[in-house]
Amino acid sequence: MSRFLRTAASDSSSSSESESDDDDEDDDDEGSGSDEDVKRVVKSARDKRLDEMEATGKTMDNALKINDWIAISNEFDKLTRMVQRQQNMSEPVPPFYIRTLSSLEASLNAALAKEKEAKKKMNATNARALTAMKQKVKKTAKEYEKEIKLFQEDPEAFEREFAAAAAPEPVARPARKAPREGAEDGVTGDADDDFTTVGRGGRAVQYTAEGIFKNLQAIQEARGKKNTDRADQIRILESLLEVAVTPYQRIRVLLALVSSRFDYNSSVASYMPIELWSSAQREIDLLIATLTADPLYSVQEVTEDYDDLLERTPEEEKDGVVRIRGSIISFVDRLDDEFTRSLQHIDPHGTEYVDRLKDEKGLYCTICRAEALYEKKQLSEPLARVIMRRLEHIYSKPDAVLNALESAASASNVAPALALSSHPSPSSLIHALCVHLYQSGNTVLRTRAMLSHIYHHALHNDFHTARDMLLMSHLQETIHSADVATQILYNRSVVQLGLCAFRCGLIKEAQATLQDIFTTQRVKELLAQGVHQQRFQTLTPEQEKAEKQRQLPFHMHINTELLEAAFLVSSMLVEIPMLASIDSEEQKRKTISKPFRRLLDFADRQVFTGPPESTRDHIMQASKALQNGQWEQCRDLVQDIKIWSLMPEAAAVKEMLAKRIQEEGLRTYLFTFAPHYKTLSLSLLSRTFSLSPRAVNSIVSRMIWTEELPASLDQSAGVIVFHRVELTRPQQLAQTLAEKVAALVEQNEKALDFRLGGTTGWGDRADGAKGEKRGEQTQERRGRGERRGGATRGARGGRGARFSQGLGSQMARTR
Amino acid sequence: MAEYDLTKTIIPYLDRHFAFPLLAHLVEISLFPIEQVSAAQYELAKGTNMVDYAQNLYEQLNPDSEIPEEFAAKREKAVSTNEQLQQEAQAVLDVIENPDVAQALRQDKNQNLTYLKDNYGLTLEQITALYNFGQFQYTYGNYSGAADYLYHFRVLSTDTDLNTSAHWGKLASDILTGKWDVALEELNTLRESIDARAASTPLLPTSSHVESLSALHSRTWLIHWSLFVYFNHPAGRTLLLETFLAPAYLNTIQSASPWILRYLAVAAILSRKAQQAPPTSGRVRHAIREIVKIVQLEEYQYSDPITRFLKELYVEFDFEAAQRELQIAERVVADDFFLSEFREEFLDNARYLISEAYCRIHQRIDIADLSERLNLSRDDGEKWIVNLIRDTRMGADAKIDLEKNVIEINRPALPIYQSVIEKTRGLSIRTQALGAAMVRAGTQQPQVVEAAR
């Protein structure tokens, strides 16, 4: 390719940058340079430019012969540009250009004259080019008026003058190029292990060990400027890395190289090319390996000032350690972020995504290496950060994946203190990592570690531990002020906790946990798994961009459909019996799960219902079946939902659901049909719902005990005897009023509790007063309203209160 | 039954000296091999200054071998230390026991100190000698002496840390000497001081890690130590419920020592009878309900036959299972160091609970069946049930039909006005409490702000 461009340079509009790129790799050039001395090499670069100009001039001549003014115009523009550049480098205007200019003027006049004579010969575009050319030449000629006059007087003398001016030129070059020159000077010293490269603008640049620092400085100065060529810089640094001799040089070059790799892609919207990413990863590995191998060098974010251009060795330093400015942790962070970003952009359903995902192993190893490095150096702050990175890679993974990552890390001889090999199970590894973070001083990291830990426990069906940790951490009070990423993590943990409760068969807990997130109707957005369509306001592009950046890569997603199924099914199991137990219109407004209720009402209004298709359809029809006491149909409908297959231990979960449906079916049946019976045989119930007589007995007894069901058992006859009292309207209203007043007082108390911010003192008194209220009210005479409150909040509230005592975040140590 | 034995769980939270009675109890019930227990006793005694006791135990363990020399040396050392410490302490004691001094002492400790210093040349170091001597006496088992010295020390000293330590020491001595009234008093003051310390430190999540942790530790200790008092003092069970059901202590039990739930459950069951007697606070009255909730919540952490009994009875309503658990629970209670004296009472009350629940759910009950549920013979069962009906307020509702051998329970539905009354009862009092709290909050807040400055 370079060969092609070189020969055809005259008719391509290649810029100086691409030229120098080509020359960099050009063997010919190197070959020709190697048997000449340095001066010649420099000169040849200038000559080449002249050659180019001449080639352009020749093309123009050719075009002139066939009267192609478009080509001439183009070529002339190019020529002018070249000359301009020549002048920018403070070289004199070559006589060739002046000559061309004057001859062009002459032929232009001739052509114009000819044009007037034979008008038909030229087409419109050509004619336009001709006139444009005339203007251009006139303008340029004015610029170089003096030179042209000199030239026309005596062409010979003019050319001689130019040659004389050019001879001392290399010495007189501006100071800006000093580093490059230094590099060139070095060649005379040891020409063996160097190679010649032609730098920008055709100048040959050689990289040597001595010149590294100057080169580095030049690159650092160019960094971030508008028209620096990043690819070129990376190449220069790569070659610098090859010649770097001492560890100090190598570290310095690596630091610069990695950062320029990360610079390569400046736009936020796209991700780093994968090859660049992998080489960056390799180089970070190399850097870490260098630092690990040689403890006398250390890379720190804050160091004393030192001269960038000097070589430093441990012996010369005061305490025998060379400290270099730089930050490995930020490299690791960036590497990880870029990985995530690439996953965000790749289509998750293609093979590319899977291929990319395979890189995680390498990344994980790098992170572990960095961890080992910081452990060795005993830097607690970056160590905590790097451990957090590590934790983020493994906390949401099932054990098998975690094992694979860990074995990859141990296979590549990375030895952080915390590794799977030293822990009996993945969970204990996570525990160890988290405990390390709990002890670190950083609150954000502590919070995130806590949430990851909770997520991990929930993932492993360890509901109680996860719940205790969540409540003890008091995170729900402060999470609103946390950063968005942490909030997302919090949402994820809570949702996972809800799913965990569902898998464990703790339906009420699952419902209560998932409730909050589902009432917002923005599940996807809250979990950062999709952007929510705003109905009433449009997002600004910045907001949208920020939103997009927050999205989790696909493999971390929690399946929202499964989540919804779990939520709706648990809502069904809680809500339907409650719905059945309500008999007056006023009470009907009480709902536990609004989203479920909405769907149910909607389904009720449907005139015609077809066979269920979506998950929601299934659940709605199942709910109706449950309402009608057809538990078998309900069970079949729920079990038919396809999405369960995504849940681990799906069979067990289905079985659990079937059992729940039986029980709740029985309860619903009793609530719904109790008014129509005077007595009901227990054995019949047991047969209808295929429950053991003991289970039926237990359920019925509980309902009687909690006064959900106004009935009692007749043991000898084996029946339930209902004592139903029909309430008159005023009685009902009186009851509702009483309940509302009680609720009001309770609200007031809560509000005061909140304002006083504690349960001490005042809480005790309130408790005593409440006892008063219950007065002679014996245990058996509890109101219905109270029951309802207790049912939903009981499980959480009881425990929640205990955690308000400030034992929070201690548990890691006390357990 | 060994799996339900809590001795091993509890001992880490007790003082070394408390372990002796526990181990002695284990010897009595012979749940574990006697050699092992006495070996444990010896190991314990070795660490104390009770040289003679350790020597005895050693002889028991190794009847054939010689008594090692170290005992004699240790004994000598203990005696000499004792004398030395006693001399030091005696100086202070002489001063204090002077009736003039006793009269001159006031409430203000600093003033007392200067007074003693000016008039009798007593320094703080000398007073500390009291503490040291008291502690030493404790280590060789002279608990009443230790209690005396520590008491005097506490009156005089201003050192907070040593004072707390002396407090614990005094409590331990009182418990070990069996002075339950004094111990109870001591326990209450100690509890107050712990609570005050915990309350004074703000509950900020950042600053108070160490403080809240230490509060948790001292509460855990207090809970375990107080078991001695509460299960020996006549009014102890009610007090236990009062204390342990307070939010702070409930939290401690739930997060640090769930096994205490056994004692909590037993105390709740035992206190059932007390309900009908003098009015107690609301907390005690609803103890069972509360405890059932906690038992359910903590089931994943801790369960034993006693908590399972409550769960089967009040959560599952499985009377057969409850009956089964009760049988095991009875044995567990009999074997437990703290509970063994309450076996009969426990069984009695548990039966009451079963029959109460049973009667509430059923309309017609076969006496034979109920007797079986209660694990009683038929005649006993009948007598029991008659007593039950007479004792409880079911009198009007329940009738025994001897011919069919059933009890008929006729429970008329609660009139609606009554339920409305019940719902609104106490609302005005609660509102008044609200108002009072608001007033208090208004006055307190400025002070808090000032303190913060």
Query: DSSP for A645-666?
Result: GGSTTHHHHHHHHHHHHHHHHH
B423·A742 Cβ contact <8 A: yes
Scanning A505-649, the segments in alpha helix (DSSP H) are 507-519, 523-526, 541-550, 560-581, 585-588, 594-605, 615-627, 631-639
Confirm whether the ipTM is greater than 0.90: no
pLDDT, tens digit, for every residue of A193-227?
A: 444 444 444 444 566 666 777 777 777 777 767 66
Residues B267 and B379 in one domain: no
With respect to residue B168, please indicate whether it lies within any of the assigned structural domains.
no
A705·B430 Cβ contact <8 A: no
Query: Which chain B positions have a beta carbon within 8 Å of A701's beta carbon?
Result: 317, 361
Q: Which two tokens stand for residue B71?
A: 């005992």
A774·B426 Cβ contact <8 A: yes
Residue B128 · residue B157 · CB < 8 Å = yes
Task: Calculate how close chain A gets to B327, using CA atoms only, in Å.
Answer: 20
Nearest CA in chain A to B312: A698
Residues B344 and B232 in one domain: yes
Scanning B62-179, the segments in alpha helix (DSSP H) are 69-97, 99-104, 109-120, 124-139, 143-156, 160-177
DSSP letter string, A261-313: HHHT---SSS---HHHHHHHHHHHHHHHHHHHH-TTEEEESS-----TTS---
User: Which among A253, A163, A269, A268 is positioned nearest to A214, based on CA atoms?
Assistant: A253
Which H helix or E strand runs over B366?
strand B362-366
With respect to residue B237, please indicate whether it lies within any of the assigned structural domains.
yes
With respect to residue B217, please indicate whether it lies within any of the assigned structural domains.
yes
Residues B247 and B350 in one domain: yes
Q: Determine the Cα–Cα distance for residues A47 and A41; give it in Å rounded to an integer.
A: 10
- Supply the DSSP symbol for A808: T
B318·A783 Cβ contact <8 A: no
Task: Choose one of B412, B427, B442: the last residue of a domain.
Answer: B412
pLDDT, tens digit, for every residue of A390-427?
A: 888 888 888 888 888 888 877 776 667 777 677 778 88
Q: Which two tokens stand for residue B148?
A: 């005396």
Instruction: Walk me through the domains of chain A, giving residue ranges and CATH numbers.
Output: 2-172 (no CATH), 560-676 (no CATH), 677-726 (1.10.10.10), 732-814 (no CATH)
Q: Which two tokens stand for residue A439?
A: 């002890």
Of B289, B363, B437, the CB nearest to A712: B363
Residues B435 and B355 in one domain: no
User: Which among A491, A510, A651, A669 is positioned nearest to A579, based on CA atoms?
Assistant: A669
Taking residue B204's Cβ as centre, other Cβ atoms within 10 Å add up to: 11
Residues B290 and B431 in one domain: no
Of A770, A775, A807, the CB nearest to B255: A807
A758·B437 Cβ contact <8 A: no
Task: Choose one of B326, B361, B396: the last residue of a domain.
Answer: B361
Q: Determine the Cα–Cα distance for residues B85 and B153; give it in Å rounded to an integer.
A: 14
B161 interfaces chain A, CB cutoff of 8 Å: no
Residues B319 and B397 in one domain: no
Q: Determine the Cα–Cα distance for residues A148 and B282; give it in Å rounded to an integer.
A: 113
Q: What is the 3-state secondary structure (H, E, C) of B318-340?
A: CHHHHHHHHHHHHHHHHHCCCCH
A751 interfaces chain B, CB cutoff of 8 Å: no
The whole-number pLDDT of residue B119 equals 75
Residues B319 and B371 in one domain: no
Query: Which chain A positions have a beta carbon within 8 Å of B280's beta carbon?
Result: none
* Neighbouring residues of B234: CB distance < 8 A, sequence distance ≥ 6: none
Q: How many domains does chain B have?
A: 3
B378 interfaces chain A, CB cutoff of 8 Å: no
B427·A773 Cβ contact <8 A: yes
Residues B186 and B276 in one domain: yes
B383 interfaces chain A, CB cutoff of 8 Å: no
Q: Determine the Cα–Cα distance for residues A156 and A159; give it in Å rounded to an integer.
A: 5
B29 interfaces chain A, CB cutoff of 8 Å: no
Query: Which chain B positions have a beta carbon within 8 Å of A794's beta carbon?
Result: 293
Q: How far is CA A397 from CA A427, A434, A552, in A?
A: 11, 15, 14
Q: Which two tokens stand for residue A342?
A: 């690439």
Q: What is the mean pLDDT of chain A?
A: 74
With respect to residue B139, please indicate whether it lies within any of the assigned structural domains.
no
Scanning A124-211, the segments in alpha helix (DSSP H) are 124-143, 145-153, 155-166, 178-189
With respect to residue B258, please indicate whether it lies within any of the assigned structural domains.
yes
Q: Determine the Cα–Cα distance for residues A805 and B297; give it in Å rounded to an integer.
A: 18
Residues B345 and B269 in one domain: yes
With respect to residue B325, please indicate whether it lies within any of the assigned structural domains.
yes
With respect to residue B331, please indicate whether it lies within any of the assigned structural domains.
yes
- pLDDT per residue rounded down to tens, chain B (453 residues): 677 888 888 888 888 888 888 888 888 887 788 888 888 888 888 777 777 788 778 877 777 777 777 777 888 888 888 888 888 777 777 777 777 776 777 667 777 777 777 777 777 777 788 888 888 888 887 888 888 888 888 877 777 778 888 888 888 888 888 888 888 888 888 888 888 876 665 444 444 566 777 888 888 888 898 888 888 888 888 888 888 888 888 888 888 888 888 888 888 888 876 554 444 555 666 788 888 888 888 888 888 889 999 898 888 888 888 888 888 988 888 888 888 888 888 888 888 888 888 888 888 888 777 787 777 787 887 787 777 777 665 555 677 777 777 777 776 666 778 888 888 888 888 888 888 888 877 766 555 444 444
For residue B384, the enclosing domain spans 364-412
B276 interfaces chain A, CB cutoff of 8 Å: no
Q: Determine the Cα–Cα distance for residues A650 and A644; give it in Å rounded to an integer.
A: 6
Q: Determine the Cα–Cα distance for residues A635 and A637; give it in Å rounded to an integer.
A: 5
Residue A453 · residue A434 · CB < 8 Å = yes
Query: Which chain A positions have a beta carbon within 8 Å of B295's beta carbon?
Result: none
Nearest CA in chain B to A739: B423
A801·B247 Cβ contact <8 A: yes
pLDDT, tens digit, for every residue of A616-642?
A: 888 999 998 988 888 889 999 988 888
Query: Which chain B positions have a beta carbon within 8 Å of A713's beta carbon?
Result: 361-363
Task: Give 10-residue mean pLDDT values along chain A (815 residues).
Answer: 43 41 42 42 62 78 77 80 72 72 77 67 72 78 73 70 54 40 39 43 54 77 72 80 79 84 71 84 87 81 74 71 83 88 85 87 87 83 88 87 82 70 81 86 86 92 88 83 88 92 90 88 82 67 78 85 91 88 65 82 83 87 88 89 86 91 91 86 89 89 84 83 80 85 88 68 40 34 34 35 34 35
Residues B194 and B213 in one domain: yes
pLDDT, tens digit, for every residue of A26-44?
A: 444 444 434 444 444 445 5
Residue A228 · residue A246 · CB < 8 Å = no
Helix A230-243 to helix A212-222 angle (10° resolution) is 160
DSSP letter string, A209-224: TTTHHHHHHHHHHHTT
Q: How many helices (H) and strands (E) does chain A have?
A: 38, 7
**Percentage of chain A with pLDDT > 70?**
74
Task: Please state the pTM of the whole predicted model.
Answer: 0.70
Strands A297-300 and B362-366: unpaired
Q: What is the 3-state secondary structure (H, E, C) of A433-471?
A: HHHHHHHCCCHHHHHHHHHHHHHHHHHCCCHHHHHHHHH
Backbone angles phi, psi at B409, to 5 degrees: -115, 120
- With tokens 């053991």, the residue in question is A692
**A residues 433-452 near B, CB within 8 Å?**
443
Query: Which chain A positions have a beta carbon within 8 Å of B425's beta carbon?
Result: 772-775, 777
A618-624: list long-range contacts, CB under 8 Å, 24+ apart. Answer: A619/A565, A619/A568, A619/A569, A619/A572, A622/A569, A622/A572, A623/A572, A623/A576
Side chain identity, residue A1: M
A495 CB-side CA count, 13 A: 26
Length of chain A measured in residues: 815
DSSP 3-state of B416: helix
A777·B422 Cβ contact <8 A: yes
A773·B251 Cβ contact <8 A: no
Residues B195 and B279 in one domain: yes
Residues B345 and B431 in one domain: no
A176 interfaces chain B, CB cutoff of 8 Å: no
